[in-house]
Structure 1
């Protein structure tokens, strides 16, 4: 990777964007330059590196369920000691979050939830949009992603996930598409037209959810851009964007096996990496066996990287750029387990995500510092309406009970109340000098969760502090 690509990359990306993307009249970055909310004092902290970690579908109780299983107590995750902690509202353009309404009846939180596409777009661009929208506003105009802003500044960028790389959340930080369901079109934009340096996620056309090969004639190429795109990617002759701004197309290096992902964690790296583990839809959650068993009763797929291994590999590629980087890391299958009310697998997936956060913290402390790096850990919405047992309408009144601590290594007492997303507040944790700007955004109050921000304010802060 080029060690100083800022001027070339900035010019190339700006030219490409002006010719191919219709932006809204005012991006979040431009709005702040005009003195809107959030404009900081002259000594405002800036961030060279930005890492945004999204536990898809995770609310307060999903986090606690994993902690109770791991440690037999809550409050023990590394990010739970971060200095800045708030709630976050997640509704899309058609909704709102009214604390008085939400807490007045047990089922009110089920009304007007967002989907992952609109939520990712809000966190990436600072603009509310409709469900299913990827990087476009309510009128289907393309918006500037924070990753595109990072590219303009000469930084490296990456997105990684435990589900298909063209799925809603990673797509919502790279692509522009009116429908999240256009996986083939989204994958082609990500691979051929974006300046992204690292893309990792499932969707392998020739493997099942059990990490077993399909016969070649049964390949499913939907999530990788179609058969021609996949074959061009493997052959190394896929038409791709000029990622470093030197006027020459930058080919992808493809990694697939767990050993290849592990090798990427140390030593020298390729310039650009696409990592497609040898599974169809998720690293682990969709594997066969008793899908409602306790955590780890069903053997994990073995020749598949963990999210922590993918994260370490991505960081080793991106930190070659002395201008810094933006990285989005998603634990995507936490949401899938929530939809299916799979208590054991939601805990497995959340633990996998938590270990990736630990890997990031280790990287910051060994290779950077909290003065130049901002880490945000949050979700995009809650899925499954997880509570303690016995929650519901009791004697005409709403009752929410706590999860029951059954000790480390045992499933906590827990109850699913939905198979869909909810409009709950979710937790947000942040560390790094630039994270203190969140205090100026946390100007709303919930009677249960306390101070909270809106998901659009994640992007607004990032556009404000990126340098």
Structure 2
């Protein structure tokens, strides 16, 4: 065999030799011209050539955060989406994959190789990497240590937007006090201090506030205009409806009083649709805890708006501010499906996330609106060979229609997790997925190591963007850099440490 390092100088020499026009004319016609892949590539090239970087300033910035949405989840999600639509899944594209610019984001936190959502959203929303479990504070703060909060708060992009006369909001499929949505407004040494009943006595006595209180008690000039998701229990007193607050306070009533006229507190999709046209502030708490998974909507989701409905309603309200707005939209249950080791939930949530992005893109003008889509971290989902083209992505790996058997004589699924509930327990032998209903909504994909909740993973995640200054999101970047691009697009000065 001739080694490549021997051929390289020869090929370089041949390439440098001028080829007479007559010889070029004798080159036979290539089959490439009629090949569908080749033609699709030509069309994609033409689209990219036509893209002109938008160097203007953004009136609005919308950040879509697919929690736990790693590259494998995006790939599997696009295939699943296509197969659900009856088209070729492998060549399908999710809504955000069609945006003009993309990059990879390095997601490690201040203290770990693999970040959690608290540190991840802090990096994206403040430009500062911090420790896992911590929200809105520098890495000098220590997890669960109330006394370390003082002097280490960092301003979020939502707070900067409010301080500069814009509106700001958060929409999520989780509790609105959960790590990612809290990253827009909270500053806490522990992400799980969502309500006062979640806090130890010494933290309360030390002057630390639970996350729900921080949302409601923010200064008028900084308080979010729109908040939608779940988590009603953290706002209501114990004994009232689903309330869990130990301090006896009804934070929903306090929010309405603080916001005054043109404000709406809603708990159902019908109420959301019926808010007055002049509404400028909305608190929508549509479930006691997290919102239900989309696969559960027929049973548990009655009266609960979709992510697309919440996001578009939020834009309708926020856009009443003539100066513009910032909006964070989280597909939070993508992550939760993966923690369960349940790929069907992961993929259906990814598709719903894409639908929300599609709905928003239909409402906004990318001439003055920067749209950024990314994830805070990845998950241990893998896509293993060698299923046939168009084979169900939730099915078995195979070759020419026959399942591929592993060394133990059993089949394996195309999608698996590194860790999670699907891992072997003790000396148990591996289950045979060929004898299981792998399409069941409660099926746990197999994993290498058994954990009650699958662990995050640390590889880079995708960033997809379009609109003013989106061209700055390219290459491999730090997760905290995403904040800098959004801040620059708004034209804001660098924030000051509190």
User: What's the TM-score, normalizing by structure 2?
Assistant: 0.66
SS in 2 for 1:170: helix
Q: Which has the larger radius of gyration?
A: 2
Name which of 482, 485, 498 aligns with 1:458.
482
* TM-superposition CA deviations, 1:142-163 (whole Å, max 9, x none): 0011111111210000011100
Distance (whole Å) between structure 1 residues aligned to residue 351 and residue 242 of structure 2: 31
- Contact 2:194/2:234 (CA < 8 Å) preserved in 1? no
Higher relative contact order (CA 8 A, sep 6+): 1
1:297–1:259 distance in 2 versus 1, CA, 3 Å: closer
Q: Match of 1:24?
A: none
Deviation at 1:281, TM superposition (A): 2.3
Deviation at 1:128, TM superposition (A): 0.7
Q: Identify unmatched segments of 5+ residues in structure 1.
A: 1-42, 96-111, 208-214, 242-248, 288-294, 391-400, 443-451
- Contact 1:78/1:357 (CA < 8 Å) preserved in 2? yes
1:60–1:263 distance in 2 versus 1, CA, 3 Å: farther
* TM-superposition CA deviations, 1:123-175 (whole Å, max 9, x none): 01101110111111012300011111111210000011100001101111111
Distance (whole Å) between structure 2 residues aligned to residue 296 and residue 256 of structure 1: 18
* TM-superposition CA deviations, 1:289-339 (whole Å, max 9, x none): xxxxxx569745221110000001100100001100000000111111111
1:250–1:120 distance in 2 versus 1, CA, 3 Å: farther
Distance (whole Å) between structure 2 residues aligned to residue 404 and residue 348 of structure 1: 20
Deviation at 1:219, TM superposition (A): 2.6
1:415–1:86 distance in 2 versus 1, CA, 3 Å: same
Name which of 283, 287, 292 aligns with 2:291.
283
1:117–1:404 distance in 2 versus 1, CA, 3 Å: farther
Q: Match of 1:219?
A: 242
Distance (whole Å) between structure 2 residues aligned to residue 250 and residue 460 of structure 1: 35
SS in 2 for 1:429: strand
* TM-superposition CA deviations, 1:357-410 (whole Å, max 9, x none): 01110111xxxx212100001111012x111236xxxxxxxxxx7897424897
**Is 1:86 aligned to residue 103 of structure 2?**
yes
Name which of 257, 267, 272 aligns with 1:256.
267
Deviation at 1:45, TM superposition (A): 2.5
When the two chains are superposed, the root-mean-square deviation of aligned CA atoms in Å is 2.8
* TM-superposition CA deviations, 1:6-26 (whole Å, max 9, x none): xxxxxxxxxxxxxxxxxxxxx
Name which of 382, 386, 392 aligns with 2:381.
386
Q: Identify unmatched segments of 5+ residues in structure 2.
A: 1-53, 84-88, 142-151, 196-209, 397-412, 420-453, 492-498
**Is 1:60 aligned to residue 71 of structure 2?**
yes
1:281–1:64 distance in 2 versus 1, CA, 3 Å: farther
Distance (whole Å) between structure 1 residues aligned to residue 361 and residue 339 of structure 2: 30
**Is 1:187 aligned to residue 212 of structure 2?**
yes
Distance (whole Å) between structure 2 residues aligned to residue 357 and residue 410 of structure 1: 27
Q: How does 1:95-134 map to 2 (within 5 A)?
A: 95=112, 112-134=113-135
SS in 2 for 1:417: strand
- Contact 1:51/1:375 (CA < 8 Å) preserved in 2? yes
- Contact 2:262/2:279 (CA < 8 Å) preserved in 1? no
* TM-superposition CA deviations, 1:218-275 (whole Å, max 9, x none): 73435xx9641336348x43xx37xxxxxxx7785201111122335xx714121100
**Is 1:135 aligned to residue 103 of structure 2?**
no
